Homo-oligomer: A and B are copies of this chain.
Amino acid sequence: MKKVGVAILGLGIVGGGAYKILTQNRDFYCKTQNVDIFVKSVLECDKARIESLGVPQEQIAENIFEIVSDPDVNIVVECIGGITDARSYVIDALNAGKTVVTSNKELICKYSHELERTAKRLNAGLYFEASCVGGVPIVRTLLDGVQSNKISSIEGIINGTTNYILTEMSKEGVGYQDALAAAQRLGYAESDPTADVEGFDAAYKLSILSSLAFHTKVPFSKVFREGISSVTPEDISNGSDLGYTLKLLAVGKDTGDGIEVRVHPTFVKKSHPLAGVDGSFNAVYLTGDAVGEVMLYGRGAGELPTGSAIVSDIIYAATHEGSRYSTFKNNATAEKDVKFVSDFASAYYMRLDVTDRAGALAKITAMLARKNISIVELLQKSNGAESATVVLVTHSTHETAIKNAVSRINASGVASVRSVIRVLS
């Protein structure tokens, strides 16, 4: 039976998960995949972690050179994170002709061009299923499951931390800070939660998934990004009254006029399949010209789910040696030839405090109409004798039109706009 040696760089959550799966399921893969995949070495400086995973002494490597020069190592798994050591180790491994499997979304997002070039030159494989949406096989699906389609849109709940926080806020009616604290207590959010709550993590993943879906490089810098830290329970509750659930949505579209990529809080109709994706679950909903709508749902993070993606890539690499360039092979359009759309179209939810009630509504709708913004739904709630809250949802319009309208309303004196949230239409 063919033997495939694996080295794991970094035994944190994901690397440790991959180590456990490979160790526990080795016989199972011999039987079902006809290949003996074994851990040859690990690179990890945390001795306590090595001990808790029960790594035997002979698997512990001193440094990256020991690993890349080892002829028994066929596949190098990078689970270090960050983009300094990780990048140089991955380049070293590829330069030594090793196939690389990584969970590092920032690395793939920012350096896929360089890594891909190196991999091709050395006839090494480069796999990164684990970089996007944990155990959900969305990369494999884009490459080998719906590749017959021109994909027009990809919409995803692809960050578990923010989805947990928004689900808590929706179901328990608590504020953002309380929900964040709960997420931190449960280990769903880090002590510095910026990367998750401000949408960086989702934006890295969206850059990767859009690059695959639209067959070009979609740079991180093109991703419009707005986080969830200013979301209020009031807006969530108003949205719910209008039939919406609030999600941090990553949206990639190829409209024909160009590509738009954006991560922001989004109201989703409760009847939409994405609306029911709660807590730490993730999902990606895509639309293709032939397949129509497809959704993949599952655990977007965690030791074993993300480890599952790592090990599925390892098995794929071990059993598909004749067709290695399965990764970014689809990048047909050079980045410079792609048009990116920043003034994208969307429907919008808006909450306004209306101070002067008599005639104020008519003035607001007139100001919106002047920007060609029409209203689908409007709710007025009295806040007492002299003021009211108005909540409205518009038909599809454009980002600049809404921004202009908001400035105009705020300058008018009859109302002030308290929040603007995009609505999936």
Chain B min CB distance to A218 (Å): 15
Contacts of A314 in B (CB 8 A): 148
B330 touches A323 (CB 8 A): no
Contact A330 B33 (CB under 8 A): yes
Could you give, for residues 1-41 of chain A, a 1 whenever the CB lies within 8 Å of some chain B CB and a 0 otherwise? 00000000000000001000100010011011110000000
- Chain B CB within 8 A of A316 CB: yes
Known: A291-B135, A294-B298, A322-B323. A312 touches B145 (CB 8 A): yes
Task: Answer whether residue A64 sits at the interface, using C-beta atoms and an 8 A cutoff.
Answer: no
Note all chain B residues with C-beta closer than 8 A to A148.
Answer: 21, 25, 29, 308, 311-312, 314-315
Scan A128-166; emit 1 where CB is below 8 A from any B CB, else 0: 010000011100110011111110000000000000000
Q: Evaluate contact between B297 and A17: CB separation under 8 angstroms.
A: no
Inter-chain contacts of A150 with B (CB < 8 A): 25, 28
Also in contact, A294 and B135, with CB within 8 A (given A308-B149, A322-B321, A322-B323): yes
Contacts of A291 in B (CB 8 A): 135, 298-299, 304-305, 308-309
B-facing mask of A63-107, CB < 8 A → 1, else 0?
000000000000000000000000000000000000000000000
Q: Is A292 part of the contact surface with B, judged by Cβ < 8 Å?
A: yes
Please pick, from B25, B34, B135, B333, the residue contacting A146 in the complex, using a CB distance under 8 A: B135
A264 to chain B, nearest CB (A): 24
> Per a CB cutoff under 8 Å, which of B135, B295, B320 touches A296?
B295
| Residues of B with C-beta under 8 A to A311 | 148, 290
Q: Which residues does chain B contribute within 8 Å of A298, judged by CB atoms? A: 291-295
Q: Which residues on B sit within 8 Å (CB–CB) of A312? A: 144-149
Contact of A297 with B294 in the complex, beta carbons under 8 Å: yes
Kindly state the separation between the CA atoms of A292 and B304 in the bound complex, as whole angstroms: 8
> When the two chains form the complex, which single residue of B31, B144, B296 contacts A294, counting CB atoms closer than 8 Å?
B296
CA distance A308 to B302 in the complex (A): 32
What is the bound-complex CA distance between A270 and B295, given in angstroms?
Answer: 19
B-side contacts of A411, CB under 8 Å = none
Q: Is A258 an interface position by the 8 A CB rule?
A: no
Look across to chain B and name the residue whose beta carbon is closest to the beta carbon of A140: B145
Are the CB atoms of A297 and B299 closer together than 8 Å? no
In the bound complex, CA of A124 to CA of B219 (Å): 40
Contact A296 B299 (CB under 8 A): no
Contact of A292 among B145, B299, B323, B330 (CB under 8 A): B299
- Contact flags A154-187 to B (C-beta < 8 A → 1, else 0): 0000000000000000000000000000000000
A252 within 8 A of B: no
A308 contacts which chain B residues (CB < 8 A)? 146, 148-149, 288, 290-291
CB neighbours (8 Å) of A28 from chain B are 150
- Considering only residues 304-346 of chain A, those with a C-beta below 8 Å from chain B are 304-305, 307-309, 311-312, 314-316, 319-323, 326, 329-330, 332-333
Cβ of B215 and Cβ of A32 under 8 Å apart? yes
Q: A294 to B135, alpha carbons, bound, how many Å?
A: 8
- Which of the residues B290, B299, B326 comes within 8 Å of A135, measured between beta carbons? B290
Contacts of A289 in B (CB 8 A): 25, 304
A243 at the A/B interface (Cβ < 8 Å)? no
With A34-B329, A273-B276, A321-B323 known to touch, is A17 a contact of B141 (CB < 8 Å)?
A: no
Give the shortest distance, in Å, between A229 (CB) and chain B (any CB): 29
Determine how close the nearest CB of chain B comes to the CB of A242; give it in whole angstroms: 20
**A-B pairs, 4 with minimum CB distance:** A322-B322, A137-B145, A148-B311, A135-B291
Of the A-B pairs whose beta carbons lie under 8 Å apart in the complex, a sample of 26, sorted by A's number, is A17-B290, A25-B148, A28-B150, A31-B215, A33-B147, A33-B329, A137-B144, A140-B141, A140-B144, A141-B141, A144-B312, A145-B145, A146-B312, A148-B311, A148-B312, A149-B308, A149-B312, A276-B276, A289-B304, A290-B305, A290-B308, A292-B298, A292-B302, A293-B299, A295-B296, A323-B323
Q: List 5 other contacts, CB 8 Å, given A273-B297, A289-B304, A291-B308.
A: A140-B140, A148-B315, A288-B308, A296-B296, A321-B323
